[in-house]
Amino acid sequence: MTVPRRVILRNAVLQDIKTIALRQMVEQGTAAVSLRAIAREIAMSPAALYHYYASRDDLITALILDSYINLGQSLQSSYDLLQQEAPANRVIGMTRAYRNWALEHPIEYQLIFGNPIPGYSAPMPVTQPAAQQAFFPLAQLLLILWQEKAIHIPEMYTHIPETIQPQLESWGAAFLQAVSAEDACKVFPLLYLGVILWTRLHGLVTLELFHQLTPMIGDASAMFEHESRHTLYLLGLK
């Protein structure tokens, strides 16, 4: 099916707008997006620009969605490449993929995980599914390793606070199709354990990216590798 030329042109303009907005963020911070400045750069009136993005917030939301998609694709690529590796190497490879993406895309990382943008509030019904989907490859890896009995859930994580479980159930529903009814109740502690592992490594990446770790540690990369391997013990891997 041939894509209409007007659609191609519109998509090209949308991409130009997002590219300029990201450059503004690189040069002046994530709060620096200006639709008027973008309009001047692409020789378009501000009124015409609003036909593409109704507001600055809509543009920021589009950039956030792109960032989550990009992160998810990076993790999925790593997941695909590591399928023949030993379980420990697969976990370590995924943690490295997460850190590498953050270091290669610092503005996108800050946009979804870092500094809040004054006056902007992300529409959760729009951004939350994208955030959950981005981490699907990591959750999928944990599920497969658990099914293969390569990892286990420590006793301390077999009981989840009641206020946490509903949210885990809402985004973990996709995994229930891959397990038996008997094992379904065990998936949620596994997902919770995955979140715990992510928060540990995410904290290191964030501190490194904001240059707050190096003054205390020196070699942030070595620390990340060291702590990544420690997470293996939590999963029962060597």
Give the list of residues 6+ apart from residue 148 with CB closer than 8 angstroms, or none. Answer: 87
Break the chain into its structural domains and give their ranges. 1-54, 64-234
- The conformation of residue 211, written as its DSSP 8-state character, comes to T
Residue 169: the pLDDT is 76
Pick the range with the lowest mean pLDDT from 63-72, 183-192, 228-237.
183-192
Measure the CA dihedral 180/182/184/190, to 10°.
Answer: -110
3-state secondary structure of 215: helix
What band does 190 get if pLDDT is binned at 50, 70 and 90? confident
CB 115 within 8 A of CB 31: yes
Q: What is the pLDDT of residue 225?
A: 95
Residue-wise pLDDT for 118-165, tens only, equals 889 999 899 988 998 899 899 889 988 988 999 988 888 888 888 988
Which pLDDT band holds residue 117 (cuts at 50, 70, 90)? confident
Which tokens go with 141? Answer: 């890896």
Whether pLDDT at 217 is above 70: yes
Q: Which of 128-132, 165-169, 172-176 has the lowest mean pLDDT?
A: 172-176
Quote the pLDDT of residue 71.
97
Across 204-233, average pLDDT: 93
Mean pLDDT of the chain: 89
Length, in residues, of the chain: 238
Helices (H), 82-213: 87-104, 106-113, 124-134, 136-147, 165-176, 181-209
CATH number of 64-234: 1.10.357.10
Domain 1-54 has CATH 3.30.2010: no
What pLDDT digit, counting tens, does each position of 34-57 carry?
Answer: 999 999 999 889 888 999 999 999
